[in-house]
């Protein structure tokens, strides 16, 4: 089990106003590099996952809600599928669930829209020259489906690390994918801030020794992300000027 690090006593960092909101983040230092999870952080795919899965499990009178989903988000797909099948006692195998889901995803996932504030924040950080990476549990085929209509702003990322990268030996909540992303950016883990919406992702980033901002889905108990350094409802509330080298005037 990957346990979050004890943050201890850390100074508050007051962030500038952005989008009419003044933010405070308890960070021990200013982050120089950014790593984003994708689903639920950059792209609004979680409703698609929920609707498709409910259609499948509903055939046996089962309900797929956040009491189940909170244990699945952010983890490798086969691990999540095993949890779903076991918990809901479905009369199918995890592999069968994934196969059926994949067929529907072919038409649904290209519909995914950007999360509020995602495009603006990514573009602003790119203009500031802040190195950025995506670290997602999605495999290549699913990543391509989800980003089909978003290649313009996804091209702004310096590195994209996927869940089927052979260098990622263990999925979240292990820190492997975030450590690889940092290495690809040429960054020390402590200089990175991770934006995550899943408890497993927050655990993984903390285990990697990184700063973490939690972005809970409205349906998720925000307390499950309370061990992140900062929790906010939207990327719209993040000031890009709080990340990267301080501009000298």
Q: Name the DSSP class of 248.
A: P
Q: Name the DSSP class of 135.
A: E
The CA–CA distances, whole Å, from 178 to 62, 84, 104, 194 equal 34, 25, 29, 8
**Distance between CA atoms of residues 132 and 36, nearest Å:** 8
Which residue is listed with tokens 């698609």?
48
In the set 12, 39, 120, 152, the catalytic residue is: 39
**Distance between CA atoms of residues 113 and 246, nearest Å:** 32
Find the helix packing angle between 77-88 and 94-108, rounded to 10°.
Answer: 120
The two structure tokens encoding residue 98: 């994934």
Using DSSP's 3-state secondary structure scheme, residue 191 falls into helix
In the set 37, 176, 197, 217, the catalytic residue is: 37
**Distance between CA atoms of residues 194 and 230, nearest Å:** 11
Q: Are 177 and 135 in contact (CB under 8 A)?
A: yes
> Is 39 designated active site?
yes
Length of the chain: 249
Alpha helices in the chain (DSSP H): 46-57, 66-69, 77-88, 94-108, 118-128, 140-146, 151-154, 176-185, 199-207
> Is 37 designated active site?
yes
Give catalytic residue positions: 37, 39
């Amino acid at each position: 089990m990957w346990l979050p690090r004890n943050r201890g006593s850390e100074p508050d960092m007051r962030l500038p106003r952005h989008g009419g909101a003044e933010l405070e983040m308890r960070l021990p230092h200013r982050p120089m590099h950014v790593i984003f999870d994708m689903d639920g952080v950059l792209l609004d795919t979680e409703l698609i996952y929920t609707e498709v899965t409910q259609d499948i499990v509903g055939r046996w009178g089962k309900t797929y809600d956040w009491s189940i989903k909170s244990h699945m988000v952010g983890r490798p797909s086969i691990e999540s599928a095993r949890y779903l099948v076991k918990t809901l006692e479905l009369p199918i195998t995890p592999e069968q669930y994934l196969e059926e889901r994949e067929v529907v995803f072919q038409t649904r996932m290209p519909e995914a829209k950007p999360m509020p504030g995602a495009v603006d924040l990514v573009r602003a950080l790119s203009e500031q020259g802040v190195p950025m990476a995506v670290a997602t549990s999605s495999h290549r085929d699913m990543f391509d489906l989800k980003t089909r209509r978003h290649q313009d702003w996804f091209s702004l990322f310096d590195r994209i690390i996927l869940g089927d990268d052979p260098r990622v030996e263990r999925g979240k909540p292990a820190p492997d994918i975030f450590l690889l992303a940092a290495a690809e950016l040429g960054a020390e883990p402590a200089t990175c801030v991770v934006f995550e919406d899943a408890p497993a992702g927050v655990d993984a980033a903390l285990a990697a020794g990184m700063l973490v901002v939690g972005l809970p889905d409205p349906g998720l108990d925000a307390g499950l992300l309370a061990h992140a350094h900062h929790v906010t409802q939207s990327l719209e509330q993040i000031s890009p000027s709080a990340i990267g080298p301080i501009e000298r005037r």
